[in-house]
Amino acid sequence: MSPLFTIPLWIDLAAVAVGGVQGAMFAARFTDNRLDLLGVGIIGIVVGLGGGFGRDILLGLPPAALQSNGYLIVATAAALLGMLLLRVFSRLGPVIIGLDALTIGLFGAIGSSKALAMGLPEVPAIFVGVVAAVGGSVVRDVMLNLPVALMHVGSLYAVAAGVGTATLVVAASLGLPVGAAAIACVVVTTLIRVLAISFGWSLPEQRALSGWQTWRRRR
């Protein structure tokens, strides 16, 4: 099936670049893990490409990163840049947080836009966008042997991506140009993620199982 519209290659590569820089900067800060430069670079590349892989697999497409030389080259260069930036600047916590939020927004927007272009209904398009948005960070955390941020209190990864991609899909269904809807998605997702970190917003912690055990003892 031919797509209803085409996402420009430079937009996809820009998302890969932002993800690569953020991933390398994130990994380089974890000195306790004793990562060498190759390890940091690999994390950057994985973050840059992970969301796109998940998106294309769900859509039944060959991964775009394997269809063009540009993706791997950009991801590698971005990872190297991320390592350089961390060595030049010692206090880049806010920058990493901002890039992380921007990465989620970009991959979510591209994922949902590509799903709509392939003719998917609205709800599956949102799902594809969320998977694309959080895919790179999930693989990053697993490779670094860290708790997966998506699954823990205080991240709002999936919430930010879900609200952002839903904004895109609703706006597109109301007739707004996909480009404008995608920009709205990036802005909404980035703002929610940054504000959640700044003000400590989170979903309620799961306590149902412990409550069930207490109820059983009382019985």
Among 20-24, 81-85, 108-112, where is mean pLDDT lowest?
A: 81-85
How many folded domains does the chain comprise? 1
Whether 82 is in a domain gets the answer yes
Angle, helix 93-117 to helix 9-28, in steps of 10 degrees? 150
pLDDT at position 1 is 47
Residue 50 is which amino acid?
G
123-171: pLDDT as tens digits: 999 999 999 999 998 999 999 888 887 777 666 888 999 999 999 999 9
Mean pLDDT (the chain) is 85
Whether 147 is in a domain gets the answer yes
Domain containing 73: what range?
Answer: 9-204
Whether 169 is in a domain gets the answer yes
210: confidence class by pLDDT, cuts 50, 70, 90: low
Helix (H) or strand (E) holding 53: helix 37-58
5: confidence class by pLDDT, cuts 50, 70, 90: low
81: tokens are 């840049």
Among 18-32, 40-54, 55-69, 86-100, where is mean pLDDT lowest?
A: 86-100
pLDDT at position 205 is 64
Whether 86 is in a domain gets the answer yes
Residue 199, CA distances (Å) to 99, 155, 192 in order: 18, 11, 10
Whether 1 is in a domain gets the answer no
Residue pair 105/74 in contact (Cβ under 8 Å)? The answer is no
Whether 111 is in a domain gets the answer yes
Whether 211 is in a domain gets the answer no
Whether 216 is in a domain gets the answer no
pLDDT at position 207 is 57
12-22: pLDDT as tens digits: 999 999 999 98
